[in-house]
């Protein structure tokens, strides 16, 4: 599904990603961990197509297409979804409107019939149950005045509605209380299917108890320095990152 | 002709023929005020960009024309019907080239003392409301365009709501200009007066049926009696060659509440001066504005809120969207006088620039002489929020649509608080059409 090869990227003239290699196959869940500032969000934003992040080397193939050549909207229409670490507040644009416009833009691109108001509402109601989201948040402006947890849950609702092929969850778990964490994880798991993949960026093992990854990678200083299975996350939880840094320096 | 002296003489000459056309009316007391205003007009100068209040608004293009005081013109009901909000069932006053046309208008009989009619009617009747209020709030001694309006006062909208009366349905007033190839000067003069505990909503629309060059110079005086509530909506939709200079003067008595929406869409050069004064305590004034500019349009808002008395609050929200090489000006002055303690004054002017050639000059002016007050102001000029744009795109929404959504959201911040559903819906449609290409 996703193949990242030797990816380098700059932001503000500084190299942040220094050669990332990562392959995510269809149906897999990958977790990316790593210390603050190591480049996890940068990677996520590069995949989503943020133009402030300049790719200087390498390639990204998504379902056979050269992802880096696509506009952000086309990436989304091809099935990439980024749940932002810091979702943006957009006063004046209602949540429902955003979702309805988004889903129909995506359907149009994929030559599918647009949903009418009724069909859309039916779908939306179903998905809202999935993330146990309060009806009142729907008519409010996108993330405007939402609590930290509500924002994260809203990202998952969007994901649930848009049904992407590849979801990238950038610290969707941070700021969530235990119940919300369970709900969000539950939402993600319910959407899991053999033809969808997920990348979860997280600092905490506790999320991975709910969303069990097939692979865990450690991103450090713009590179993936270690990959393993879910046991690696437990090891990181116990030992921190220092032992990896040392290992790397010796290498 | 481009000599400004000649232009002034042109208007002074026009006044002579105007006077002679007044017939019996020139013997009424108000005519003395007209004459005084004409006198002042001849002494005052047209503003240039050297005048502080007109620094960014160059009216030279307006002074290139010899605008002729308009004559009465006929229109058919069919031509005006589309400009009325059909679900509003209240009184309608329709003016063509500044003259009231009874045949096109619809005024309900009322036996509760509420008067909705033409100013001409009240001038002729020698109404006491006229002698008490007309020309009392708009200063013709210092403002040349007001002097011009006062000198040529003949017709306009007149609304009087006596004590304890409520006019439920909004009054719709259309000011239609039809040029028939002449450069017309249309000068409606409006007066709205409310008594104690009364209430009224007024919608004014300014538009044209053709694309000739004309000049609308309008002065509206509003007197809000004690505890009265006035909602005023002004939709300036003149054609893109028109000049529109307007002044709204509001005088507020104790506990009154005045809310205004000034929506500016048309005109080559347009300006709205809106001034409100608190004569007594406990009043509230809400000024809202939205201007959408394209091409070479210039629009200037000057507002002044005079907190002369304690315990009053004012709330201003003006938003501009500027495209192409358009130019916007916002100057918001708030004076809080020495004994105006417990004043609340909030002002906001936000602008979005959609092209490199567009320009906005915005200037808040707070003059605060009292110490126990809450005042704030903020002015911003910017492009569309990049983060919000990226967020929408990352959800599959294309560039153009994402832009449209954000512009719409920005503008509807003003529109959505309009209480008259019909007007709100109409403006939403205007926004939709303009930005959802
Ligand atoms: N727009 C930017 N301008 C300058 N530097 C940036 C910008 N965005 C990110 N960086 C820098 O890039 C580095 C990587 O940031 P990134 O947000 O990718 O880290 P992260 O791994 O997601 O960290 P965290 O765990 O704290 O979320 C940091 O040093 C950060 O300061
Ligand atoms: Mg991050």
Tens-place pLDDT, residues A157-185: 999 999 999 999 999 988 888 888 998 89
> Distance between CA atoms of B312 and B281, rounded to whole angstroms?
6
Nearest CA, atom 18, ligand 1: A39
Three-state DSSP class for residue A24? strand
Compute how many other C-beta atoms are within 10 angstroms of the C-beta atom of residue A86.
12
Per-residue pLDDT band at B250 (split at 50, 70, 90): very high
pLDDT tens-digit series, residues B186-240: 999 999 999 999 999 999 999 999 999 999 999 999 999 999 999 999 999 999 9
What is the residue with the minimal CA distance to atom 25 of ligand 1?
A36
In the numeric block, the tokens 């994901």 are attached to A159
Helix extents (H) in B126-278 = 128-133, 144-151
| Cβ contact B166:B199 at 8 Å | yes
In chain A, % of residues over pLDDT 70: 98
Q: B166 in a domain, yes or no?
A: yes
Question: Taking phi first (over 0 means left), then psi (-120 to 50 degrees means alpha), and beta for anything else, what does residue A73 get?
Answer: alpha
Instruction: For the beta carbon of residue B409, count every other beta carbon within 10 angstroms.
Output: 22
Place of tokens 């991103």: A219
The model's pLDDT over B276-322, given as tens digits with 9 standing for 90+, comes to 999 999 999 999 999 999 999 999 999 999 999 999 999 999 999 99
Q: Is residue B128 part of a domain?
A: yes
CB B217 within 8 A of CB B177: no
Residue B210 lies in a domain: yes
B189 near B155, Cβ under 8 Å? yes
Question: Could you tell me the distance, in angstroms and rounded to a whole number, from the CA of residue A218 to the centre of ligand 1?
Answer: 16
Q: Which residue in this structure is represented by tokens 């007050």?
A: B373
Q: How confident is the model at residue B1 (pLDDT cuts 50, 70, 90)?
A: very low
Chain A hits for B397, CB-CB cut-off 8 Å, are 73, 98, 101-102, 105
Domain that holds residue B117: 2-280
Q: Is residue B407 part of a domain?
A: no
Residue B437 confidence (pLDDT): 56
Paired sense of beta strands B184-186 and B157-161, if any: unpaired
Chain A hits for B399, CB-CB cut-off 8 Å, are: 71, 73
The dihedral formed by the CA atoms of A192, A193, A196 and A198, expressed in degrees to the nearest 10: 30
- d(CA B424, CA B407) in angstroms, rounded, equals 16
B384 vs B152, more confident? B152
Is B100 a domain residue? yes
pLDDT digits (tens, 9 = 90+) for A187-235: 889 888 999 999 999 988 888 888 999 999 999 999 998 899 988 888 8
Could you tell me the two tokens for B385? Answer: 């929020």
Place of tokens 């005023």: B232
Contact B204, B94 (CB under 8 A): no
DSSP B375-402: EEEEEEEE---HHHHHHHHTTT--HHHH
For residue B187, tell me if it sits in a domain. yes
Q: Cα–Cα distances in Å, from A251 out to A36, A125, A225, A246?
A: 22, 53, 10, 9
Residue B209 belongs to a domain: yes
Residue B397 tokens read as 């929404």
- Please state, in angstroms and rounded to a whole number, the distance separating the CA atoms of residues B157 and B135: 14
Q: Is the pLDDT reported for residue A248 higher than 70?
A: no
Give the C-alpha separation, A220 to B37, whole Å: 79
Give A141's contacts in chain B (Cβ within 8 Å).
409
**Residues in contact with ligand 1 (CB, 6 Å cut-off):** A 11-12, 16, 34, 36-42, 52, 85
Q: How far apart are CA A168 and CA A24, in angstroms?
A: 11
Specify the pLDDT at position B223. Answer: 98
Contact A4, A60 (CB under 8 A): yes
- What's the domain count of chain B? 1
Helix (H) or strand (E) holding A68: none
> pLDDT (tens digit, 9 = 90+) per residue, B51-102?
999 999 999 999 999 998 888 888 888 888 899 999 999 999 999 999 999 9
Pick the residue of B319, B380, B384, B394 with the most A CBs within 10 A to test the interface with A by mutation: B394
Question: Percent of chain B beyond pLDDT 70?
Answer: 99
Q: How far does the centroid of ligand 1 lie from the alpha carbon of residue A11, in Å?
A: 9
**Nearest atom (ligand 1) to Cα of A171:** 27
CA distance A17 to A3: 15
- The tokens describing B167, both together, are 């006019």
Q: How many CB pairs under 8 A join A and B?
A: 74
Instruction: Judge whether B164 lies within some domain.
Output: yes
Cα(B318)–Cα(B351) distance, integer angstroms: 8
In this prediction, the answer to ipTM > 0.85 reads yes
């Amino acid at each position: 599904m996703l193949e990242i090869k030797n990816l380098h990227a700059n932001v503000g003239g500084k190299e942040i990603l220094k050669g990332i290699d990562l392959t995510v196959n269809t149906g897999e869940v990958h977790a990316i961990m790593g210390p603050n500032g190591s480049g996890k969000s940068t990677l996520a934003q590069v995949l989503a197509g943020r133009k402030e992040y300049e790719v200087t080397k390498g390639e990204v193939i998504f379902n056979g297409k050269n992802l880096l050549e696509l506009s952000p909207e086309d990436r989304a229409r091809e099935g990439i979804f980024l749940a932002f670490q810091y979702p943006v507040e957009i006063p004046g644009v209602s949540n429902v409107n955003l979702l309805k416009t988004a889903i129909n833009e995506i359907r149009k691109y994929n030559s599918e019939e647009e949903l009418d108001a009724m069909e859309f509402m039916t779908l939306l109601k179903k998905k809202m149950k999935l993330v146990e989201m309060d009806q009142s948040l729907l008519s409010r402006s996108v993330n405007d005045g939402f609590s930290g947890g509500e924002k994260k849950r809203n990202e998952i609702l969007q994901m649930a509605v848009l049904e992407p092929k590849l979801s990238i969850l950038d610290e969707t778990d941070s700021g969530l209380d235990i119940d919300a964490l369970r709900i969000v994880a539950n939402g993600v798991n319910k959407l899991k299917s053999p033809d969808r993949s997920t990348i979860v960026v997280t600092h905490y093992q506790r999320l991975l108890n709910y969303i069990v990854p097939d692979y865990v990678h450690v991103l450090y200083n713009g590179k993936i320095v270690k990959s393993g299975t879910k046991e690696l996350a437990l090891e990181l939880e116990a030992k921190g990152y220092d032992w990896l840094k040392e290992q790397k320096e010796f290498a | 002709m481009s000599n400004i002296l000649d232009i002034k003489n042109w208007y002074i000459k026009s006044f002579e023929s105007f006077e002679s056309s007044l017939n019996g009316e020139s013997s009424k007391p108000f005519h003395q005020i007209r004459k005084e205003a004409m006198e002042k007009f001849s002494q005052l100068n047209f503003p240039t960009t050297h005048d502080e209040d007109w620094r960014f608004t160059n009216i030279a293009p307006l002074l290139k024309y010899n605008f002729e005081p308009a004559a009465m013109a006929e229109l058919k009901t069919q031509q005006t019907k589309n400009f009325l909000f059909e679900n509003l069932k209240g009184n309608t006053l329709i003016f063509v080239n500044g003259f009231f046309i009874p045949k096109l208008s619809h005024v309900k009989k009322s036996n509760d003392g509420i008067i909705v009619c033409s100013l001409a009617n009240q001038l002729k009747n020698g109404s006491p409301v006229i002698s008490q209020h007309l020309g009392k709030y708009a200063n013709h001694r210092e403002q040349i365009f007001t002097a011009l309006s006062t000198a040529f006062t003949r017709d306009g909208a007149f609304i009087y709501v006596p004590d304890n009366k409520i006019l439920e349905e909004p009054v719709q007033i259309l000011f239609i200009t039809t040029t028939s190839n002449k450069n017309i000067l249309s000068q409606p003069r409006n007066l709205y007066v409310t008594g104690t505990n009364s209430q009224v909503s007024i919608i004014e629309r300014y538009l044209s049926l053709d694309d000739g060059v004309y000049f609308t110079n309008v002065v509206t005086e509003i007197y809000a009696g004690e505890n009265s509530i006035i909602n005023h909506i002004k939709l300036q939709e003149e054609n893109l060659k028109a000049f529109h200079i307007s002044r709204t003067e509001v005088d507020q008595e104790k506990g009154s509440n005045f809310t205004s929406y000034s929506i500016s869409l048309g005109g080559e050069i347009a300006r709205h001066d809106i001034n409100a004064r608190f004569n007594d305590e406990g009043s509230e004034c809400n000024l809202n504005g939205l201007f959408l500019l394209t091409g070479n349009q210039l629009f200037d808002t000057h507002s002044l809120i005079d907190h002369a008395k304690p315990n009053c609050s004012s709330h201003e929200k003006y938003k501009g969207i500027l495209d192409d090489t358009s130019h916007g000006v916002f100057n918001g002055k708030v004076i809080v006088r020495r004994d105006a303690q417990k004043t609340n004054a909030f002002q906001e002017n936000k602008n979005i620039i959609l092209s490199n050639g567009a320009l906005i000059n915005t200037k808040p002016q707070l003059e605060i002489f009292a110490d126990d007050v809450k005042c704030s102001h903020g002015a911003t000029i910017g492009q569309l929020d990049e983060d919000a744009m990226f967020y929408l795109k990352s959800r599959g929404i294309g560039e153009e649509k994402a832009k449209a959504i954000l512009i719409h959201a920005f503008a509807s911040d003003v529109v959505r608080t309009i209480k008259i559903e019909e007007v709100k819906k109409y403006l939403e449609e205007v926004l939709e059409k303009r930005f959802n290409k």
